[in-house]
Amino acid sequence: MKILVVDDDYDILQLVTIHLSREGYEVLQAHNGQHALELLEETEVSLAIVDVMMPGMDGFSLTRILTKELDIPVILLTAKGQISDKEQGFKSGSEDYLVKPFEPKELLFRVAVVLRRFGRAMESVVKVGNVKINRNDFEVIINDETILFPLKEIELLTTLATRANKVTPRSVLLEQAWGEDYHGSELTLNTHMNRIRERLKRYNASIEIQTVRGIGYKLEAAE
Amino acid sequence: MRTLYREFISATLLILGISVLIGFVLANVVYLAFTKNEITQQNVEAAKQIVHVLEEMHVSSHALQPFLESVGRLGYQMYLANGSGDEYFFGEPFEHSRLPARTLDQVLNGTPYMGKDNIWDQFWMMGHFSNDIRNTVGLPLQIGQEPFALFVKPDSKTLFSDIHMMLAGFILAVAVLSLLGVIKMTKRLIYPISELSEATKAIANDDFTYSLEIRRKDELGQLAQNFLQMQQQLKHNDVARKSFISNVSHDFQSPLMNIQGYADLLINPDLPAKERIQYAGIVNDEARRLSNLTKQLLLITSLDQSGYPVRKSLVRLDLQIKESVKKHQWSLQDRNLSISYKMDEAELFSDRELLGIVWDNLITNAIKYNRPNGHIFISCSNNKDKIILTFEDNGIGLSEASAKQVFDRFYRVDATRKKDGTGLGLSIVKEIVTLLNGTITLDSEPGKGTTFTVMFPKKGKD
């Protein structure tokens, strides 16, 4: 998956590139808006990360072109945390913004969230028993209380919930949550499943996840 | 100080002079308007009685002399004359003994003379008391068959020289006493002023210990009271400022020292991987702390400026908190914390940006001081007259002593803990909540967790 990073500060450009590459993304670097648009004439990207303050074309103008004309989701990097900046950012069409200095982990998380939003369409709201799952917002609502689920867990729960009372194979779950080219241990899946169970139990959900030996998992809704 | 004395004294003298002058003019006017006629009337009565007695006696002008002389000794001055040039003076002699022309003839012809009426050239009343024949009253009388004119005036010479003396003495006494009083009063006034002046100088030199010995109940006492209050406030501010600066420089210096030191160690190419990771982590943490510190200092100094511009609009608190939670989702996930919330829809007329800072700080706090696999619970209840928000974590909690200080600037529960805390976050929260007319309290138990409760009244004071 290709990501375009636009920043006039070489060190930040390098830093962002290193973190994104390590996570497995392919990174295109541009030093300014003009450069970015030239690169886009030859290559397609899934996401652009754009600095607001750049000489020449500023980040907002570039974002407007990227989102409105090229339909590329944008995450803005801004030095100031002021509300006017945020509003301007969203008005220009950016999906998200990050205030410098930011945590590399935070950037990766936001990138994942935006890519996911633009990725495969899955039903965004699912209701099972007394549980309502709002996939896009990572929210699980049980008895009026909203629980925020981590990324992987919401994917797993949504997949199970859309197939309530049916057995879902491990491979399907792994693909939904980690993507096709995931080669990690299946132990990780177990750990996540246990965490989901814990959460459901703590908030008195009327659904339960059962392990189906050798095949996968089944979500059962109590009558 | 000299000038103040001089000013008071010259002002007093001026006032005395002017009041004497005005008093004299007023007395003169009163005399001319009322008293003068009465006195003239009295003189006329006296003269009439003398004339009456003389006419009753039926004697010659020579025989009258002993009688008139004795009257003269009783304190009258008299001038007796007829048309043919005979004239007699009795009593104290006149200093000025010439009657206005034709006066004698008029009186001999039967028209009484009311002396003082004619002396318009001498406006001052003193003129009316001078030893002058023109100040007499003149009446006609018959002695034998001969017409005479008798001019009578009470002898006021002795009386008046005494009155003059008394008056001069009186004015002198008034002047001296007033001056003494003014000097004493000025001294009493100047003392507190010079005291205050000294105290002001002391404050200008950063000395806040000067003690004022002023016990007065007037405006100067009030001034001294206010001054003392100002002195105490300045002293307090000074202490706060100094400790703030020393805290800031310490909090900037120690992470910089760590960064420098560990960056130095990292230069070594043979450093084992484990140590390298550890050192880089320290550099990373310290840089983050510095970055936080700068942001928060910027905020806290702008909040400190009186009259921070609060920009109010309607804010959906529940939505804003949700947004804030979303912002921290990655670090929640990173630390394996779970978060849940139960929030009523709640709208408040307040400052959106400042409130955002409050939620950010409270959530960051709940994340930072939590334990692995911990929970955070946020609630928002929209009541009739107030909105109550709670931020609950089941983290490490606070001791009772720490809980009391947690809102103080630069207070950190454990100074050695390697967190990117600055000790400013909660003090900022408290300041903002107070600025927005709300209250914040906390409830904590060591090892069990902490709950912060924020309350905003729906109808603000403004």
Summarize pLDDT for A135-153 with one digit per residue, the tens: 888 889 998 899 988 888 8
Rounded Cα gap, residues A110 and A49, in angstroms: 11
- Mean pLDDT for the stretch of residues B256-266: 87
Write out pLDDT tens, residues A102-134. Answer: 788 888 888 988 887 776 555 678 888 899 998
Mapped onto helix, strand or coil, the DSSP state of residue B44 is helix
CB-CB neighbours of A5 under 10 Å: 25
Q: What is the pLDDT of residues B263-299, one digit of tens each?
A: 888 988 888 888 888 889 888 888 888 888 888 888 8
Nearest chain B CA: its distance from A107 CA (Å): 9
Contact B357, B299 (CB under 8 A): yes
Distance from CA of A63 to the nearest CA of B (A): 21
Q: Tokens representing A102?
A: 């930011």
Rounded to a whole number, what is the distance in angstroms from the first to the last CA of chain B?
49
What is the rounded distance in angstroms from the CA atom of residue B199 to the CA atom of residue B365? 46
* Side chain identity at residue A217, one-letter code: Y
Burial class (CB in 10 A: 0-12, 13-18, 19+), A199: buried
pLDDT of residue A184: 63
Residue B453: DSSP 8-state: E
Q: What's the average model confidence in pLDDT over A147-163?
A: 88
The pLDDT of residue B359: 94
Chain B nearest-CA distance from A130, in A, is: 15
Between the ranges A110-124, B297-311, B413-427, where is the mean pLDDT highest?
B297-311
CA–CA min distance B342, chain A (Å): 5
Q: What average pLDDT score do residues A168-190 get?
A: 78
Name the CATH topology of A2-118.
Answer: Rossmann fold (3.40.50)
As a whole number, the mean pLDDT across chain B is: 83
Tell me how crowded residue B107 is: count the other CB atoms within 10 A of its CB.
23
**A35: closest CA of chain B, how far (Å):** 31
**Rama region for B293: left / alpha / beta (φ>0; ψ in -120 to 50; rest):** alpha
Edge-to-edge order in the sheet of strand A167-169: A167-169, A216-221, A207-212
Can you tell me the mean pLDDT for B453-461? 82
pLDDT, tens digit (0-9, with 9 covering 90-100), for A33-70:
899 999 999 888 989 999 888 888 888 889 999 988 88
CB-count exposure of residue A71 (10 Å: 0-12, 13-18, 19+) = exposed
C-beta atoms of B338 and A138 within 8 A: no
CB contact under 8 A, B329 and A148: yes
Q: Which of B286, B288, B340, B376 to mutate to probe the A interface, most A CBs <10 Å?
A: B340
Q: What is the pLDDT of residue A121?
A: 53
Q: Which of A155, A153, A139, A142 is nearest to A195 (CA)?
A: A153
CATH level 2 (architecture), domain B311-457: 2-Layer Sandwich (3.30)
Q: Strand locations in B19-112, DSSP E?
A: 76-82, 87-90
Q: Do A106 and B338 touch (CB under 8 A)?
A: no
> Which of B325, B328, B330, B381 should we substitute to test contact with A (largest number of A Cβ atoms within 10 Å)?
B330
**What is d(CA A217, CA A172) in angstroms, rounded to the nearest whole number?**
10
CA pair distance B392, B362, nearest whole angstrom: 10
Which pTM was predicted?
0.59
Residue in the structure block whose two tokens are 């050695």: B416
Determine contact: B372 vs chain A, CB below 8 A. Answer: no
Please write the tens of the pLDDT for every residue from B383-398: 989 999 999 999 888 8
CB contact under 8 A, B352 and A83: yes
CA distance A116 to A96: 13
Contact across the interface for B325 and A138, Cβ inside 8 Å? no
Domain B214-308 CATH assignment equals 1.10.287.130: yes
Residues of B in contact with A136 (CB under 8 A): none
**Looking at the predicted structure, is the pLDDT value of residue B419 above 70?**
no
pLDDT tens readout for residues B137-188? 888 888 777 888 888 888 776 666 677 788 888 888 988 898 898 888 888 8
Write the DSSP symbol of residue B248: H
CB < 8 Å to B333, chain A: 109, 150-151
B291 inside 8 A of chain A by CB: yes
**Which DSSP letter does residue B135 get?**
G
Percent of chain B with pLDDT over 90: 15
The β-bridge relationship of strands A96-99 and B137-143 is unpaired
Q: What are the domain boundaries of chain B?
A: 2-161, 214-308, 311-457
Contact with chain A for residue B294, Cβ under 8 A: no
Cβ separation B342–A146 shorter than 8 A? yes
List, for residues B86-140, the tens digit of each pLDDT value: 888 888 888 877 777 788 888 888 888 887 655 444 556 666 667 778 888 888 8
The residue type at B216 = R
Domain boundaries, chain A: 2-118, 125-221
B325: nearest CA partner in chain A? A148
Q: What is the 3-state secondary structure (H, E, C) of chain A?
A: CEEEEECCCHHHHHHHHHHHHHCCCEEEEECCHHHHHHHHHHCCCCEEEEECCCCCCCHHHHHHHHHHHCCCCEEEEECCCCHHHHHHHHHCCCCEEEECCCCHHHHHHHHHHHHHHHCCCCCCEEEECCEEEEHHHCEEEECCEEEECCHHHHHHHHHHHHCCCCEEEHHHHHHHHHCCCCCCCHHHHHHHHHHHHHHHHHCCCCEEEEEECCCEEEEEECC
pLDDT bracket for residue B460 (50, 70, 90): low
Rounded CA-CA distance A128/A206 in Å is 8
Specify the fold of A125-221. Answer: Arc Repressor Mutant, subunit A (1.10.10)
pLDDT at B461 over 50: no
Helices first, then strands: H and E counts in chain B: 12, 12
d(CA A62, CA A66): 6
Chain A CB within 8 Å of residue B339 CB:
yes
- Write down the H helix ranges in B311-416: 317-327, 329-334, 352-368, 400-405
In this complex, is the C-beta atom of B341 within 8 Å of any C-beta atom belonging to chain A? yes
What pLDDT was estimated at residue B211?
A: 83
- Which of B288, B331, B340 is facing A148, going by the closest CB pair? B340
**pLDDT band, very low/low/confident/very high, at B454 (cuts 50, 70, 90):** very high
- Taking every pair of C-alpha atoms in chain B, what is the biggest distance, in angstroms? 159
pLDDT band with cut points at 50, 70 and 90 for residue B462: very low
The fold for domain B2-161 equals Beta-Lactamase (3.30.450)
Alpha-carbon torsion, ordered B363, B369, B371, B374, to 10 deg? -20
**Minimum-distance CB partner of A106 among B291, B330, B340:** B330
Q: From chain B, pick out residues whose CB is under 8 angstroms from the CB of A148.
A: 325-326, 329, 332, 338-341
Residue count of chain A, please give it.
223
Cα angle value B239/B244/B250 (rounded, 5°):
130
CB contact under 8 A, B333 and A81: no
pLDDT of A84 higher than 80: no
**CA B422/CA B293 separation, integer angstroms:** 6
- The mean per-residue pLDDT over the stretch B247-267 comes to 84
Say which of A105, A146, A151 has its CB closest to residue B340: A146
What is the chain B residue with the closest CA to A105?
B330
